[in-house]
C-alpha cells in the first residue's frame, strides 16, 4: 500500500462502536434521529503505517452532524423558546455523552444556495448559538434544562480565537469556512445528484414505463457510467427501490405534479443524499484523532433512506480522492427483482472531494436538458402557453 493510499474498513471491522450501536430515535412528538451508517462498528484504518508496524494508535471522537432544521431549532432553543421533545432528548444525550455537534452541513448547504451577504450573518448567528451550548454549564443544564454559561469554557473559546466575545469567535469560524471551501466543487456534487434523480423519474415514468424494475435499473446504471460519467452509490440504490415503487414519499413526482414542486423535490432530495454522504468525507490517512460523524435529522424520510444501505469501506489515494463502497439492502425487494440483480451488490462510487474541483466534472448542459424533459413530463402549463411546453 503506497503512502497516500489508505482504506477504512467498516463492514469487516472486528471492533464494535463505543459511540452508537445503531440508529437512535429521540422523542415521540417530533422525533429526532441520530443515523448510524456504520452498522454499529468502529471503522478500522488500513494504511502503510499499519501494514509496516502491525498496529496504529489514534483517538476517536463522535460528532452529530446537524441538518439545517436542527440547527435552526437549536438557535431558537438557545434564545429561550421551547422546542419539541426530540430536540430536548437529543441535547441531553450529546451533553451526557460529551459528543461534539457540528454545523458543517448547514454551512455547506447555505454557502451553496445563498449570496455571501446572506450567508455570513445567518451562519454567524447560528454558530454563536452553538458556541453557547458548547460553553454552557453542563451539570446545570442536565439538572434544570437551563442554558447558562461556564466562564472557563467561554474563556477557552475566546482565547482560542484571540477575540473578546462569542459572537466574534463565531464570525472568525464562519469567515474561515467561507475562505476555505470551494463553492464550485460543492455545486457540481449536488448537480450530479440532481441529474441522477431526474433521470430516475424519467426512466421510471416515461422512458421505460413498461420495462421491469431490473431493466430500468440496468438503464439507469448505464446512464450514470456512460452519460453522466460519475458512479453515485446511494443514488443507484435509491433507483432500485424507486423502480419497485418501494421508495415511499421520496421522489413522489407524478405527471400532474407542478414542475416547480417537482424541481424543489429533486433539489431537497439531492441535499438529503449529500448529508448522508458527508460523514465519509471526514476520514483521513494518518490521523491523530478521527471524527466519527453521525447525521442528526428530524426528517423521517431521510432516516428511512439511510436504512437502505451501509458503508462497506472507504478507500482513498493521493490522486483519486475518496471512493466509498456502499452495499445494498435488498430485503424489501420482490423476489422476482432480486433474482435479476447480482447478489451482494456493492457499488464503488466515483471519487468525491470538496476541495478539488477536478475530481467531479458534470457534463455541460445535461442538467438543463433533463430539467426540460421533466417539465414536459409534469405538464406544467405556463401562462399563455400549453401544458407540457418546453421553455
In tens, the pLDDT along 333-379 reads 777 777 776 554 545 554 555 544 345 678 889 999 999 999 999 97
Give the mean pLDDT of 164-171: 96
pLDDT band at 233 (very low <50, low <70, confident <90, very high): confident
**pTM confidence score:** 0.83
The DSSP output letter for 350 is P
Query: How high is the pLDDT of residue 359?
Result: 53
Which candidate, 266, 277, 243, places its Cα nearest to that of 352? 277
CB atoms within 10 A of CB 245: 10
| Residue 351: DSSP 8-state | P
- The stretch 204-213 carries a mean pLDDT of 91
CA angle 151, 60, 176 (to 5 degrees): 60
- Cα(14)–Cα(21) distance, rounded to whole angstroms? 14
Q: Is the pLDDT of residue 125 over 90?
A: yes
DSSP characters for 352-372?
B-SS-GGG--PPTTHHHHHHH
Q: Which helix H or strand E contains 376, and what residues bound it?
A: helix 366-378
Contact 211, 343 (CB under 8 A): no
Angle formed at CA 355 by CA 349 and CA 361, multiple of 5 degrees? 55
Q: What is the pLDDT of residue 316?
A: 66
- Which has the minimum average pLDDT: 186-190, 198-202, 220-224, 387-391? 387-391
Q: Is pLDDT above 80 for 170?
A: yes
C-alpha–C-alpha distance, residues 37 and 283, integer Å: 14
Burial (Cβ within 10 Å: 0-12, 13-18, ≥19) of residue 221: middle
Residue 204 has what pLDDT? 94
Question: pLDDT at residue 318 above 60?
Answer: no
Extract the C-alpha cell encoding 224.
450514470
Contact partners, residue 369, CB within 8 Å, separation at least 6:
none
Q: Which residues pair with 65 in a beta bridge?
A: 102, 295
Q: Average pLDDT in the 244-253 region?
A: 80
Amino acid at each position: 500500500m503506497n503512502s497516500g493510499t489508505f482504506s477504512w474498513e467498516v463492514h469487516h471491522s472486528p471492533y464494535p462502536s463505543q459511540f452508537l450501536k445503531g440508529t437512535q430515535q429521540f422523542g415521540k412528538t417530533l422525533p429526532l434521529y441520530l443515523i448510524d451508517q456504520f452498522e454499529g462498528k468502529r471503522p478500522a484504518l488500513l494504511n502503510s503505517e499499519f501494514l509496516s508496524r502491525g498496529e496504529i494508535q489514534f483517538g476517536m471522537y463522535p460528532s452529530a452532524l446537524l441538518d439545517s432544521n436542527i440547527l435552526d431549532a437549536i438557535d431558537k432553543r438557545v434564545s429561550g423558546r421551547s422546542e419539541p421533545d426530540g430536540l430536548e432528548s437529543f441535547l441531553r444525550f450529546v451533553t451526557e455523552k460529551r459528543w461534539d455537534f457540528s454545523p458543517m452541513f448547514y454551512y455547506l448547504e447555505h454557502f451553496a444556495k445563498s449570496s455571501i451577504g446572506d450567508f455570513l450573518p445567518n451562519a454567524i448567528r447560528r454558530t454563536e448559538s452553538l458556541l453557547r451550548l458548547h460553553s454552557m454549564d453542563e451539570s446545570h443544564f442536565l439538572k434544570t434544562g437551563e442554558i447558562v454559561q461556564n466562564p472557563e469554557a467561554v474563556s477557552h473559546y475566546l482565547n482560542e480565537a484571540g477575540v473578546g466575545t462569542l459572537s466574534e469567535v463565531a464570525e472568525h469560524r464562519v469567515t474561515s469556512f467561507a475562505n476555505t471551501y470551494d463553492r464550485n466543487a460543492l455545486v457540481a456534487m449536488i448537480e450530479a445528484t440532481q441529474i441522477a434523480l431526474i433521470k430516475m423519474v424519467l426512466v421510471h415514468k416515461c422512458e421505460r414505463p413498461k420495462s421491469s424494475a431490473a431493466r430500468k435499473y440496468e438503464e439507469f446504471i448505464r446512464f450514470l457510467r456512460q452519460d453522466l460519467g460519475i458512479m453515485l452509490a446511494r443514488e443507484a440504490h435509491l433507483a432500485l427501490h424507486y423502480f419497485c415503487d418501494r421508495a415511499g414519499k421520496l421522489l413522489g413526482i407524478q405527471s400532474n405534479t407542478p414542475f416547480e414542486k417537482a424541481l424543489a423535490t429533486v433539489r431537497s432530495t439531492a441535499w438529503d443524499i449529500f448529508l448522508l454522504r458527508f460523514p465519509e468525507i471526514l476520514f483521513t490517512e494518518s490521523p491523530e484523532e478521527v471524527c466519527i460523524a453521525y447525521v442528526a435529522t428530524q426528517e423521517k424520510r431521510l432516516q428511512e433512506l439511510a436504512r437502505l444501505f451501509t458503508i462497506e469501506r472507504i478507500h482513498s489515494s493521493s490522486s483519486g480522492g475518496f471512493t466509498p463502497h456502499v452495499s445494498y439492502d435488498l430485503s424489501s425487494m420482490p423476489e422476482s427483482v432480486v433474482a435479476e440483480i447480482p447478489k451482494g451488490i456493492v457499488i464503488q462510487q466515483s471519487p468525491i472531494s470538496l476541495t478539488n474541483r477536478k475530481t467531479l466534472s458534470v457534463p455541460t448542459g445535461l442538467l438543463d436538458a433533463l430539467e426540460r424533459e421533466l417539465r414536459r413530463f409534469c405538464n406544467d402549463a405556463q401562462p399563455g402557453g400549453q401544458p407540457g411546453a418546453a421553455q
